[in-house]
Structure 1
Amino acid sequence: MGKISNKALNKVLLRTQGCQFAHNYERMQSLSLTYCFSPVLEELYKDRPKEEKVHAMQRYLEYFNTHPIAIPFILGIQAALEESTTEDQKETCTAIKTSLMGPFAGLGDSMLNLTWYPIAGSIGASMCINDGSLVGPLVMFLLINLLYWPLKYFGLHLGYTKGLELVQSGGMALFDRLGNMANVLGVVVVGCLIPQTVKLSTALQFAFSEGEPLVIQDQLNNVMPYMLPVILTFVCYKLLKKGQGKNSASIILGMIVFALVFAAIGYYIPWLKIFA
């Protein structure tokens, strides 16, 4: 077989942009995976018998499911294997493809879906809170794609040039460390955004017979100014975790009712005002 050209690899990269469009419940991403990888197979099998080409396509129609951003990386490794193995060794390609989809799915979910995506969304949302600017969604879109596109491009080409060497030489341990670093970064960013985006203060105060009343918020400002926003965020987080994210709409509506009720209490009965 001949060497795979950069043109074929770049076609694979462009096709991976639509890798979720042909999702199905029987074999998940197998159909889109075959479509994405077909430029490589067509180039490798252009001078081979039709039966071998058909059999090569059928190998990629088997069940496959992983994180979409990890698909170029896996296909890069598959391209290197397809290029270097004979027809009698093609079962190795299928076995390796199957063994890689699980670990990369977990890495993609932890490092991207559960870390970078919320970071980009939080930064974009923080730019829209005060004046409803449309710059926020644009910034979120750019932040996501400025990371996703290089990951896809370099993942595909690095996977092709290094092949299994990248995974076997401690590569997975490196990805684990990157995942831990990404989680720490996500916690830091979210922690910094809480005091800027979550606004909650109390108007509760106690009057004594002599002197100024004791204003609770002033005391909190002296000790821990953003304690109430942190508590509110923690409560929302626990509720989301308990409902596995399916109760997000209920939590948002609950926060709206919470704000309206205490705003009304403070307006009509000032001496019962607790939150402002």
Structure 2
Amino acid sequence: MPYDTSTAPQAFAALGHPGRLSVFRLLMRFAPRPVRPTEIAEALEMKPNTLSGYLSDLSQTGLITATREGRSLFYGVDMAQCDGLVSYLVNDCCRGRPEMCLSALPERETRPYRVLFLCSGNSARSIMAEALLNELGAGRFEAFSAGTRPSTEINPQTRALLERHGHLTAGLHPKDVTEFQGEGAPDFDFTFTVCDLAASEDCAPWIGQPLSAHWGLPDPVKATGSEAERALAFAQTYDALRRRIEVFTALPIEKLDRLSLQQKIDDLSDI
């Protein structure tokens, strides 16, 4: 649906309600992956009938879509529609003179791109990602990691795996996400959630308005079976993160506009 003076107010009104906005924000954190209503209701602690009304209202605006897989219904953000709504607002605001808006944007300081990896315990997946990016992107990227419910120490199998691959682990440790929020916190260029639990939790807005994507992976700490099977789960997680980060570090970030770059980092979740 194209947005104009008759359709845009409906979309803005839908997002103007705290409940509907919380649903939209959660779906955006998982984008482009769609989410089951049961997952949304659990994450937001929302009654199913209340959620159903919010999803219906958002669907009518075109901002989200529903797809069915077998007996399961999934909801996801329609990125093209969201782009259309934002473009309508900005173009109307700038009256065909984009320099009026662009001049208000601060110039990015010369420094490495700062990247934050988030998961729940910050003892395995996000720690691996931090170590990988700091090595593969040395000089161009500066990586950090944190947890929404951090463990007291790095998982021993994580540390052993990283050391086998030649990574320095002396400075790695679980950190609470609050260390990277509020006054004095570094401004990030990118944030990546690597577990569904972290993606479903609502964090305060990040300093610097970073691009974000969900690179969800199974938690190797929860792997069961023999010692070899558990070790394989850690190795597969490491390999998946390495593939994504190798492609990420090769992106021509300086040459891509924000929307194109967002699409690129979203696509990495499928690698």
The structure whose residues are more often helix, as a share, is 1
TM-score band w.r.t. shorter chain: under 0.3
Instruction: Provide TM-score, normalisation by structure 1.
Output: 0.22
The structure whose residues are more often strand, as a share, is 2
